[in-house]
Amino acid sequence: MSLTSSSLVAAADLAIAAIQGAKDLEELKAVRIEHIGDRSDLAKANQSLATLPKEDRAEFGKIIGVERARVNTVYAAREVELEIERDRRILEEERVDVTLPGRRTSLGGLHPLTILTNEISDLFLGMGYQVEEGPELESEWLNFDALNMPVDHPARTMQDTFFVEPLTARLVLRTHTSPVQVRTMLRQAPPIYIICPGRTYRADELDATHTPVFGQVEGLVVDRGITMADLKGTLDHFAQAMFGPEVKTRLRPSFFPFTEPSAEVDFFFQGRWIEWGGCGMVNPKVLHAAGIDTQEFSGFAFGMGLERTLMVRHGISDMHDIVEGDLRFTRQFGTGLV
């Protein structure tokens, strides 16, 4: 470029036009290299000052200084403008709408039957009982024979019991939690204070009051001097904890092969007697079979249905609600988590 004042002004005007035309910082950077950088016309003009005759240097030096300053001022202003624009764009792109509804994660909860089971376990643990477990796939011997249930007992017919193949293995889905009584007595010497809540099975159709898979809670006490009065007192306490302090229980004579005498437990609730479960004094034959000295020890046992307890306590009229797992039903009981 020839060094004339008009060419310098033209170069500066060109640079300014380019600066103002830059649409973002990226483009502005390219403009800078071309029009302001070392290889730009204005920079080169500045470098060529040295080649000018001395008398011209001051004049051109001054013009170059003025033009470069003009360009730099416009550049700085445009740079600020584009930076503001960029920041605004980033803010817009990364915007978080704090008014959007949050995404709720559901923690889940315990089934009402599990909540009830925990409640019953806590009650008896508080009285010094232990909570026992037994397998749901149980030997026929423990489920029946050891409980003084002879082979021709009606409960052993195909109608009630789920037998498991191969039949020669003599395994059943336990029909009650009473085999855990035997398991406990075989393992542990008296005094024994246990409950066993758990799942049990009988070949029933699912309807409003029956389910082939149901829960029971078994109680067993074996100690010195245990009488039916201890049984009655324990059942009263249990019933009152379940249904309210006003609740009374009554025993009706009944029959179970593993208790003698045996009784059905009813409780009086909201104006009527309701059947709750079976109970009795542990049959000495059962104690004998477990190697317990019946001269020294006696015991009582009881077995209650968990579904029935839940249904009566909460006015549930249909068993389907308990087994189907509809959250609209189960949520009414809370999560059961503490």
Rounded distance, CA 172 to CA 214, Å?
15
Q: Which is nearer to ligand PHE, 11 or 281 (CB)?
A: 281
Closest CB 326 distance from ligand PHE, rounded Å: 28
Closest CB 229 distance from ligand PHE, rounded Å: 17
Closest CB 175 distance from ligand PHE, rounded Å: 7
Residue number closest to ligand PHE, CB atom = 303
Kindly identify the residues of this chain, within the stretch 225-284, that bind ligand PHE according to CB under 6 A: 256, 259, 277-280
Q: Which is nearer to ligand PHE, 27 or 136 (CB)?
A: 136
| Largest Cα–Cα separation, the chain | 136
Paired strand residues for 220 = 194, 301
Stretch that binds ligand PHE, among 50-58, 75-83, 242-250, 300-308 (CB under 6 A): 300-308
Closest CB 111 distance from ligand PHE, rounded Å: 21
Contact between 134 and ligand PHE per CB under 6 A: no
Helix (H), strand (E) at residue 284? helix 284-289
Residues 151 and 161 sit within 8 Å (Cβ to Cβ): no
Contact between 211 and ligand PHE per CB under 6 A: no
Locus of tokens 């016309």: 41
Closest CB 299 distance from ligand PHE, rounded Å: 10
Binding pattern to ligand PHE, positions 19-58, x when CB under 6 A? ----------------------------------------
Helix (H), strand (E) at residue 194? strand 192-201
For residue 175, which of 157, 195, 193, 150 has the smallest C-alpha distance? 157
Q: Which is nearer to ligand PHE, 78 or 202 (CB)?
A: 202
Q: Which is nearer to ligand PHE, 60 or 214 (CB)?
A: 214
Rounded distance, CA 74 to CA 16, Å?
7
Q: Which is nearer to ligand PHE, 134 or 277 (CB)?
A: 277
Kindly identify the residues of this chain, within the stretch 146-205, that bind ligand PHE according to CB under 6 A: 176, 178
Half-sphere exposure of 74 (CA within 13 A, CB side): 21
Closest CB 257 distance from ligand PHE, rounded Å: 9
Q: Which is nearer to ligand PHE, 52 or 155 (CB)?
A: 155
For residue 260, which of 233, 279, 275 has the smallest C-alpha distance? 279
Q: Which is nearer to ligand PHE, 112 or 280 (CB)?
A: 280
Stretch that binds ligand PHE, among 75-83, 98-106, 299-307, 313-321 (CB under 6 A): 299-307
Q: Which is nearer to ligand PHE, 78 or 176 (CB)?
A: 176
Contact between 302 and ligand PHE per CB under 6 A: yes
Among residues 11, 120, 301, 319, the one that binds ligand PHE under rule CB under 6 A:
301
Q: Using CA atoms of 148, 154, 157, 162 in order, give the dihedral in degrees to the nearest 10.
A: -70
Rounded distance, CA 262 to CA 257, Å?
8
Q: Which is nearer to ligand PHE, 279 or 292 (CB)?
A: 279
Instruction: Determine the size of the site formed for ligand PHE (CB under 6 A).
Output: 12
ω into residue 261 within 30 of 0, thus cis?
yes
Q: Which residues contact 45 (CB under 8 A, 6 or more apart)?
A: 1, 3, 8, 11, 60, 64
Locus of tokens 């077995």: 303
Rounded distance, CA 200 to CA 306, Å?
10
For residue 198, which of 276, 121, 97 has the smallest C-alpha distance? 121
Rounded distance, CA 61 to CA 68, Å?
10
What is the sign, positive or negative, of the torsion defined by CA atoms of 138, 120, 270, 319?
A: negative
Residues that bind ligand PHE in the complex, under the rule CB under 6 A: 176, 178, 218, 256, 259, 277-280, 301-303
